[in-house]
A and B are shown apart, each in its own frame.
Chain A
Amino acid sequence: MLYSNKVMDHFTNPRNLGKMEDADGIGEVGNAKCGDIMKMYIKVADGRITDVKFNTFGCGSAIATSSIATEMIKGKTLEEALTLSNKAVVEALDGLPAVKIHCSVLAEQAIKAAVKDYYDKNQIAYDEAMFKTVGCAHEHG
């Protein structure tokens, strides 16, 4: 099998799936041309992520990485969520095929984008360098 059981579990039974109407922060990353778009919604109270939802257009690993990433940040402080690395996402899924690693990067970026949106909306100062996003390899030739 191409994917680990953990990936298939999150793909077939994604956690925290769906939209959030009253989100405090929304992050959308990726583009349709590349075949992956993740949209992450967070609800924040006292600097802590109390709820998180996602919608994803993409392959099996894009859906699975989004799903596990939401689990990994739920209940965490914003600062903790920002430290979530794509490597941790890959490990939590018991690995991803090499060509799918970019999906985990996208998941990390989706979380960061949602937090950034929350900071922007609430006029909380932050270091821009923390939120650098990378496009898909398409754009880099």
Chain B
Amino acid sequence: MFELTGEEILFIIPMYSIGIGRCYKMKQYIYADHAATTPISEKAKEAMLAAMDRYGNPSSFHREGQLAKEALEQARSEIADCLHAKQEEIYFTSGGSEADNQAIRSAASIGARKGKKHIITSAFEHHAVLHTLDALKKEGFSITYLDVHENGIIDVSELEQAIKEETCLVTIMYANNEIGTLQPVAEIGAICRRHKVLFHCDAVQAVGHIPVDVIKDQVDYLAFSAHKFQGPKGIGGLYVRKGAPLIPLLYGGAQEKGLRAGTENLPAIIAMAAALRDACEQMSEQMRKVSALRDQLIEGLSEIPHSRLNGDRIRRVPQTINFCFEGIEGESLLLWLDQKGIAASSGSACTSGSLDPSHVLLALGLPHEVAHGSLRLSIGMELQKEQIDYIIHAVKETVSYLRNISPVWEALEKGEKAYVIQ
């Protein structure tokens, strides 16, 4: 559905009240929400379908079971290769959230036994990390939330200062899911190693998109999720450095060395390995192409007055950008883009299901009223330059329309209110 073929399918979308009865030609629906999930790759889909016939239980001793076991270990080995890990250091989980939970719980449990109940994180981690830490707070842990500053990147000297005798874990993400900024993971890893503190990295937005090397980055744990790199949903994994503590969240059979009970989801695991292998093989080409599209987007959207790119311009993943447009609200922008055939996302309160805008945008120091007007676009290899042009055109047009009907914009224009974004 999301792949463009040589034959362009054109259809007309009436623009309702926007413009004066104008119509726009556009190509197929443009999916620009890859940070939420990605379309499954052909290779992953094929691998998954074929794996459906590999029905044996990897825990069984008969031939069918052993064939399944072989396929399982083959997948583990391929995933390990992509991350520069050893095969036995990869544990399969239901996804990134479970992997984050297990890593944090494991380090915390060992820490508690030694009387070390202090954890350091950043203010804009994924909720899989933040909510696990909230639960640990109730168990007597204290948490330090590092400032992510205006550029969306932690300061490693602040991390080093925050490390105490009682610190048992540092958990910092590789790349932020809402704004796409990269953290200095290798530097964080080196600091943690030096201070003998465990380091968990939620790399869900990085694996399959940029080179991730667990040795160079000196991580003890690293979480990933298949559906973020064109694999299936409901499967992911945790890298655990040999020697780092790991405790189970689920008890039962002896799967995953007794550390994650439950019969393995073999078709999903095989598909995840196929997707990651594919992503790793294509990585340099993908990074080059997607970065160019991203830069085109940034350039085009920056032309909108009183807009800002959230997060550092350079230190970011290729696929994700986040903008704020002053004077408008993000959900209505999103709904309009959907009407115009573009799938995007926003950190506005209205899309978060709560009254507050995204904790990520607030962590950058943005005031509520500006954070409400945010738009996240996350793109993939399948998009073309012309589609990016169309996105820019559609965003410009919609922002201008929404500003036109916005009393907030009216007050800004009249000078009754001061612009936050110059």
Binding site for B on A (CB under 8 A): 8, 11-14, 17-19, 28, 32-39, 55-63, 99-100, 136-138
Contacts and interface: CB of A to CB of B under 8 A. Distances in A.
A60 to B, nearest CB: 5
B410 A58 contact: no
A94 B53 CA distance: 47
Interface string B198-209: 000000000000
B331 A59 contact: yes
30 contacts: A11-B335, A12-B17, A12-B339, A13-B17, A14-B405, A17-B17, A18-B405, A19-B410, A28-B407, A35-B349, A35-B350, A35-B355, A35-B369, A37-B406, A37-B407, A37-B408, A38-B407, A39-B407, A55-B405, A55-B406, A57-B327, A57-B328, A57-B329, A57-B407, A57-B409, A59-B329, A59-B332, A60-B331, A62-B329, A137-B355
B357 interface: yes
Contact of A32 (B17, B339, B350, B372): B372
Given A17-B405, A55-B407, A11 B329 contact: no
Contact of B350 (A8, A56, A59, A138): A59
Nearest to B368: A33
Contact of B348 (A35, A99, A100): A35
A14 B335 CA distance: 14
B21 interface: no
A92 to B, nearest CB: 19
B17 A11 contact: no
A59 B407 contact: no
Contact of A35 (B329, B335, B402, B410): B329
A60 B335 CA distance: 7
Interface in B390-418: 402, 405-410
Residue of A38, A55, A136 ringed by the most chain B CB atoms within 10 A: A55
B353 interface: yes
Given A32-B408, A59-B332, 4 more contacts: A14-B17, A34-B355, A35-B372, A57-B408
B79 to A, nearest CB: 36
A78 to B, nearest CB: 22
Contacts of B16: 12-13
A58 B328 CA distance: 7
